[in-house]
Chain A
């Protein structure tokens, strides 16, 4: 397996705010291959925004390294785009001026047409001031800046939060098109799992300061089974969550060996079920697929 082609790679990330002993991130390591649409999920305050800010070089990690597109965030500043959760824009500028901002600050990469497609479709007029826009319209202008930059890696912090269902669907479509046409890697955070399912083929679950689940959605799904049976023992399998179901027991497990050996009903869980089970059970062991494991040299360098 080659370790080239990582869009984002981190080893031993450690981050805390101020003098508090509460680490937002602690020894957090992961890897994201290029060309993926990755959902970054986790409970409120799990450190999703912190992780994205570290990835985009806005914060400096207390410890650990983070590399993207083969360089440090500062080295590849022109090649990634970041949209913060608050969708910061200059309120006194118009939409057209905000897009000009993108052109002026990204002189070597700007794609005006791509930006305009996102900003103006059923959206605000070019002459509208940012301060007059609704939350969803602001979000679209902020996303337009990211698309106009023609970034190789898009880091989007809660991009869907302010969007109506139709706009979400359109954004999802635009993101998928971006990946298909340009091979763009996308990371988007959310705590609403449903809005990411279907759009994403890669998953990071952040909790307790580390990556609890990391890898391809289908591989993570394949690693879990829902077992339902009359007796309360689930054999050699790793139980993530177990509870009563009618007169029997049901459990979400990571199978170790053959699941047909016992007298259980075996079902493939949904991604949402897997995520919720992990969120409810912080002590469940971590799972990181091969492609989500950082290169040894990077981990060794820490």
Chain B
């Protein structure tokens, strides 16, 4: 039998410069993952670089804003400085918000583009019928995405912390504000990991790009809402009474403040707060008919304990979600 040949090998041009043997850098599935998400990698790098650059610029503006920290007002009158031309606090809030909400974009990307698009186009099946198991496909994808977004988030959080801690605290929103809390601590890293995990599970469930993006975004939202609702309960509050309660520190998260009446009821009555001395507090209490004032607060020192507890919870949640994603993948394919 004569076997028809299918033509001779094309010379020169087929010997592409990136032929496997000579290639450097990442190999195998990691190469493929990075290569096929090159555009996203660039976008993320540019976004992070731009934000870090902007925060550095904001740091410069902060030096000016800091000069006004001690003043009640600005503008007119003797001994009062001219008003700053720049809304430093507003700008910082925008930066914190962008960083705090970045995981939503990560979740949508991980769900839609990283996982669902590959399933939808059949390119996932293309990988699985090379010498790559579905489990390894998902592992490499999750690991590569996590590494890249974690590195960026670490830079962003470091940069905004640097701005946040450099000047007078009165210039920026306090630590317990949701965006600030999300942007400035280790929780930002935990939420990034959770975002990738939620995205992967959403992508496997939806199997199509746009629904997966919506599902990932929608599934991530309740996590943020719940975290804001229950954050104050993650660490025992500090209970103050007497003069200490009346002089609640400015940077404390006030859970509840009020007056204990003579018959022992706690009422929301703040007239005796900001008393400067014990004597004044006593006089005020006599006048108001109260026994004492109380303050249930999270002092600023609770920032890190709450950060760590929340980080732990979020990482545990991420682990459960990743387990579910691998389980689903196993059930569906004969891997």
Contacts and interface: CB of A to CB of B under 8 A. Distances in A.
Interface stretch (B123-131, B185-193, B318-326): B123-131
B125 A105 contact: no
Contact of B14 (A54, A104, A126): A126
Contact of A77 (B7, B39, B133): B133
Interface stretch (A38-46, A80-88, A190-198, A255-263): A80-88
A59 B119 CA distance: 13
A173 B125 contact: no
B18 A176 contact: no
B2 to A, nearest CB: 9
B51 interface: no
Contacts of A126: 13-14, 16
A180 B2 CA distance: 10
A101 B128 contact: no
Interface in B1-17: 1, 3-10, 13-14, 16
Given A58-B128, A59-B334, A116-B9, A103 B133 contact: no
A122 B10 CA distance: 9
A113 interface: yes
A177 B4 contact: yes
B16 A96 contact: yes
Contact of B332 (A60, A81, A116, A149): A60
B23 A100 contact: yes
A81 B129 contact: yes
Contacts of B133: 74, 77
Contact of A105 (B7, B38, B132): B132
B10 A57 contact: no
B268 interface: no
A145 B123 CA distance: 13
B14 A101 contact: no
A235 to B, nearest CB: 39
A60 B31 contact: no
A100 to B, nearest CB: 6
Contacts of B1: 176, 180
Q: Is the interface of B mostly helix, strand, loop or mixed?
A: loop
Contacts of A82: 125, 129
A104 B27 contact: yes
B83 interface: no
B123 A90 contact: yes
A159 interface: no
Contact of B123 (A88, A112, A116): A88
Contact of B31 (A54, A104, A149): A104
A192 B24 CA distance: 45
Nearest to A96: B16
Contacts of B221: none
B4 A105 contact: no
A277 B136 CA distance: 46
Nearest to A114: B9
Interface in A72-98: 72-74, 77-78, 80-82, 84, 86, 88-93, 96-97
With most chain A CB atoms within 10 A of its CB, the pick from B16, B19, B334 is: B334
Interface in B21-42: 23, 27-29, 31-32, 35-36, 38-39
Nearest to A169: B4
A121 B7 contact: yes
Given A81-B129, A105-B29, A149-B130, A74 B6 contact: no
Interface of A: 53-54, 56-61, 72-74, 77-78, 80-82, 84, 86, 88-93, 96-97, 99-110, 112-113, 116-118, 120-122, 125-127, 145, 149, 169-174, 176-177, 180-181
26 contacts: A53-B125, A56-B128, A61-B334, A88-B125, A89-B123, A89-B126, A90-B123, A91-B121, A96-B14, A96-B16, A96-B18, A102-B130, A104-B27, A104-B28, A104-B32, A105-B32, A105-B131, A106-B131, A113-B9, A116-B9, A120-B13, A171-B6, A173-B6, A174-B4, A176-B4, A177-B6
Q: Which 4 A-B pairs rank lowest in CB-CB distance, beginning with the nearest?
A: A88-B122, A173-B4, A103-B20, A105-B130
Given A93-B36, A100-B31, 10 more contacts: A58-B129, A60-B331, A77-B128, A77-B129, A90-B121, A100-B16, A105-B131, A173-B3, A177-B4, A180-B3
